[in-house]
């Protein structure tokens, strides 16, 4: 029987986690209904994986304006709140804990999702991506730069989405500030070419995140709010590492110390950034020196490397993505050192149960 720090319990601001293994947020495009509502199938998927110390849901859209991917659930309507309650109830019945990730895709969207109107983003910078629409993949277009009213409304949408998430009985919320979506589009000089209070200086470019947190603080317990960041993202979604990248993220993380959050969720580099002098090579080590609270670290960890990063003290929890797709009982497989199921990439974003809720567990193999 495997032992290690990943199997130890963890107190997350009063929320007791059974282990330090976190299920990372992953879009699966299974909410195939016109209202973007999480379904019974969604609930079963998360229930199967509730042995994780913490589950973080796929990104859930905070508003209609936030939509950028087909068949993904939202959390901006009463119907969507009720849909998500199916999931939170199912996970809680199994003794699990679950946070909702609050998502706005910004420029990573398409007019097809917005009645022919351009998606909203900080500036008119095309991320040059293929967007998954109802009619298949289509190339992204230059977005509509957000007015101050648009920004104010978006901040309010994050606030309402957090309220809705707690009404749906989530244990907390994670604000998606990573992977090249709206908030990271504001942070990056390449995608933010504004000259007002939301552009130019480091403080201005990150202002929207702290506007959101300041608004959330009025209505929810920030000890149950988290932020996800991807400091070394480069060449993906129109985001580039530049000469201010380290300054931007050091500033953000230093300020986050003042908010008493549940955690920050950091991602090690997606790509090889060893030749980029301004890129943070070891994200967890870098920010462990700055951040006083809980750190979740993510990016292609194994059981062994997860135990190592926790033992080194560089993070408190480790999140796993793809391994959870094919291994609903990942925690038990790690514990017993059992071989992992291999995921079927062809079914990552397809409708139905296949490749979603039909992977075998150790129990089904008995």
Burial 25-57 (b: 16+ CB within 10 A, else e): bbbbbbbeeeebbbbebbbbbbbbbbbbbbbbb
Is 5-347 assigned to CATH 2.160.10.10? no
Say whether pLDDT at 365 is over 80: no
> For residue 364, is pLDDT > 80?
no
The model's pLDDT over 52-83, given as tens digits with 9 standing for 90+, comes to 999 999 999 999 999 999 999 999 999 999 99
Check whether 210 has a pLDDT greater than 80.
Answer: yes
Q: Sketch the domain layout of the chain as residue ranges.
A: 5-347
Mean pLDDT over each residue of the chain, to the nearest integer: 96
Q: What is the pTM of this model?
A: 0.97
The CA-to-CA distance between both ends of the chain, in Å, stands at: 18
Q: Which pLDDT score, from 0 to 100, does residue 34 have?
A: 80
**What band does 2 get if pLDDT is binned at 50, 70 and 90?**
low
Query: Would you state the pLDDT for residue 363?
Result: 84
For residue 1, the model assigns a pLDDT of 56
Q: Which pair of tokens denotes residue 310?
A: 């926790």
| Residues annotated as part of the active site | 181
pLDDT tens sequence across 270-327: 999 999 999 999 999 999 999 999 999 999 999 999 999 999 999 999 999 999 999 9
What is the mean predicted confidence (pLDDT) over 178-187?
A: 98
């Amino acid at each position: 029987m495997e032992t290690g720090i990943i199997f130890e319990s963890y107190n997350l601001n009063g929320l007791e986690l059974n282990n330090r293994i976190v299920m990372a947020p992953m879009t699966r495009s299974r909410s195939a209904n016109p209202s973007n509502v999480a379904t019974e199938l969604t609930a079963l998927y998360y229930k199967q994986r509730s042995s994780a110390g913490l589950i973080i849901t796929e990104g859930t859209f905070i508003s209609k304006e936030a939509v950028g991917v087909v068949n993904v659930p939202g959390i901006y309507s009463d119907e969507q709140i009720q849909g998500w309650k199916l999931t939170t109830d199912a996970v809680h019945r199994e003794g699990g804990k679950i946070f909702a990730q609050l998502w706005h895709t910004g420029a990573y969207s398409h007019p097809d999702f917005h009645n022919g109107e351009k998606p909203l983003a900080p500036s008119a910078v095309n991320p040059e991506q293929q967007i998954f629409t109802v009619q298949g993949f289509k190339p992204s277009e230059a977005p509509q730069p957000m007015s101050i009213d648009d920004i104010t409304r978006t901040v309010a949408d994050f606030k309402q989405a957090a309220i809705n998430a707690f009404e749906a009985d989530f244990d907390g919320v994670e604000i998606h500030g990573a992977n090249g979506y709206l908030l990271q589009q504001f942070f990056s000089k390449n995608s933010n070419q504004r000259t007002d209070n939301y552009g130019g200086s480091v403080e201005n470019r990150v202002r929207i995140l702290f506007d959101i947190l300041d608004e959330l603080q009025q209505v929810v317990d920030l000890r149950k709010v988290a932020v996800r960041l991807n400091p070394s993202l480069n060449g993906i979604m129109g985001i580039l590492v530049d000469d201010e990248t380290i300054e931007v993220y050091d500033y953000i993380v230093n300020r986050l110390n003042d908010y008493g959050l549940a955690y920050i969720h950091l991602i090690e580099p997606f790509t090889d950034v060893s030749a980029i002098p301004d890129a943070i090579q070891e994200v967890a080590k870098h920010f462990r020196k700055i951040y006083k609270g809980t750190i979740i670290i993510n990016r292609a960890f194994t059981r062994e490397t997860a135990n190592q990063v926790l033992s080194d003290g560089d993070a408190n929890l480790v999140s796993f993505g793809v391994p959870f797709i094919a291994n609903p009982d990942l925690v038990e497989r790690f514990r017993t050192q059992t071989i992992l199921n291999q995921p079927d990439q062809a079914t990552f974003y397809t409708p139905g149960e296949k490749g979603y809720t039909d992977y075998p567990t150790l129990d089904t193999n008995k």
